[in-house]
């Protein structure tokens, strides 16, 4: 009896230490984001104060200045938001359609050099975007795609397709082939068997791939800063540069725009978190 009690106490201690460790890790992850939110409401004097002010005063001046008119520090937030939305949604939709078809082909069919193609796609995705910025700028400048939505959409589709193929390939491999075979026996075509039987099963996995692709396009800065010039094409991450001058940086305004940029992604994540968790755990538990 004493041994069982000791074992239970030990398990409680281990569990408490486990949760305490997770709490510390989450604190480290969340502190930068919380600091950005806090600075967006603090006066510039307190943001730049040394030592830091631990009892801050709160103001909405940075948000008022950001939405102000010409000559008042105004930033075209709505235009930047529209550009980001157009580019992110369009590139995500195209990447998911192509990636879902590619992932299904890799999961279901056999063809020559299949493994080589797959490894090549993964190696392409491993190349950092900064390394591609100069070649892309030269090519896009010659074909007239600099400072256009289409140019950014093309780049983000190329970035996201390898990842969506890899992710959806894993999801479709978890679906038994007998499902589409049974559907075809019942009279469905191959296309109908995919959309009516296999796609609904893998829908959560495809949704998680779409979320990752959208967030990648929404938050990307390096390539967007090189390929956009005017207000009509700049995305929100590039809009952060509006708060930098030759010798100064408006940290408060930059933090305020960063908060507005984070909010849509945060809201989207909360709305689809059920699909995201289901997609990430798809195939992890077998009945």
Domain parsing of the chain, residue ranges: 2-66, 77-280
In this predicted structure, the answer to whether residue 284 has a pLDDT above a threshold of 70 is no
151-184: buried (b, 16+ CB within 10 Å) or exposed (e) per residue?
bbbbbbbbbbbbbbbbbbbbbbeebeeeebeebe
- Read out DSSP for 233-248? T--HHHHGGGGB-SS-
Confidence of residue 214 (pLDDT cuts 50, 70, 90): very high
Q: Which residue has the higher pLDDT, 142 or 66?
A: 142
* pLDDT confidence bin for 90, thresholds 50/70/90: very high
Check residue 33 and give its pLDDT.
84
The more confident residue out of 155 and 249 is: 155
Q: Percentage of residues in the chain with pLDDT exceeding 90?
A: 16
Average pLDDT over residues 55-66: 82
User: Taking 80 as the threshold, does the pLDDT of residue 68 lie above it?
Assistant: no
**pTM for this prediction:** 0.81
Give the confidence band of 281 by pLDDT, cuts at 50, 70, 90.
low
pLDDT at 53 over 50: yes
Model pLDDT, residue 85: 93
Alpha-carbon gap, residue 253 to 241, rounded angstroms:
10
- Burial environment of residue 234 by CB neighbours within 10 A (0 to 12, 13 to 18, 19 or more): buried
Q: pLDDT tens for residues 9-38?
A: 788 888 888 888 888 888 888 888 888 888
pLDDT of residue 242: 83
186 or 141, higher pLDDT: 141
Q: Tell me what pLDDT residue 154 has.
A: 94
> Quick one: pLDDT band at residue 218, thresholds 50, 70, 90?
very high
Residues 6+ apart with CB under 8 A from 273: none
Average pLDDT in the chain: 83
The architecture CATH gives domain 77-280: Orthogonal Bundle (1.10)
pLDDT score recorded for residue 286: 40
Instruction: Convert the pLDDT of each residue in 120-129 to its tens digit.
Output: 888 887 787 7
Query: Virtual CA dihedral for 138, 140, 144, 147, nearest 10 degrees?
Result: -110
Position 279 scores a pLDDT of 54
The pLDDT value recorded for residue 70 is 40
């Amino acid at each position: 009896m004493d041994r069982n009690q000791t074992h239970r106490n030990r398990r409680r201690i281990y569990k408490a230490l486990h949760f305490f460790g997770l709490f510390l890790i989450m604190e480290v992850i969340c502190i930068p984001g919380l600091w950005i939110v806090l600075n967006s409401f603090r006066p510039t004097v307190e943001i730049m104060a040394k030592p830091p002010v631990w009892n801050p005063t709160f103001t909405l001046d940075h948000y008022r200045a950001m939405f102000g008119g010409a000559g008042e520090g105004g930033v075209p937030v709505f235009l930047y938001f529209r550009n980001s939305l157009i580019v992110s949604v369009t590139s995500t939709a195209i990447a998911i359609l192509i990636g879902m078809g590619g992932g299904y082909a890799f999961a279901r069919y056999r063809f020559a050099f299949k493994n080589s193609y797959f490894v090549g796609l993964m190696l392409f995705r491993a190349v950092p975007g900064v390394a591609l910025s100069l070649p892309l700028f030269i090519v896009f400048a010659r074909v007239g795609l600099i400072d256009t939505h289409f140019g950014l959409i093309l780049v983000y589709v190329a970035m996201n397709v390898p990842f969506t193929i890899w992710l959806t390939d894993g999801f479709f491999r978890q679906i038994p082939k007998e499902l589409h075979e049974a559907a075809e026996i019942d009279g469905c075509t191959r296309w109908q068997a995919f959309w009516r039987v296999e796609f609904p099963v893998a829908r959560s996995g495809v949704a998680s791939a779409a979320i990752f692709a959208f967030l990648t396009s929404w938050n990307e800065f390096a390539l967007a800063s090189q390929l956009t010039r005017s207000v009509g094409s700049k995305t929100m991450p590039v809009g952060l540069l509006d708060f930098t001058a030759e010798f100064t940086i408006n940290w408060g305004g930059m933090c305020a725009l960063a908060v507005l940029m984070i909010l849509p992604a945060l809201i989207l994540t909360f709305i689809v978190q059920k699909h995201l968790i289901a997609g990430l755990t798809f195939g992890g538990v077998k009945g």
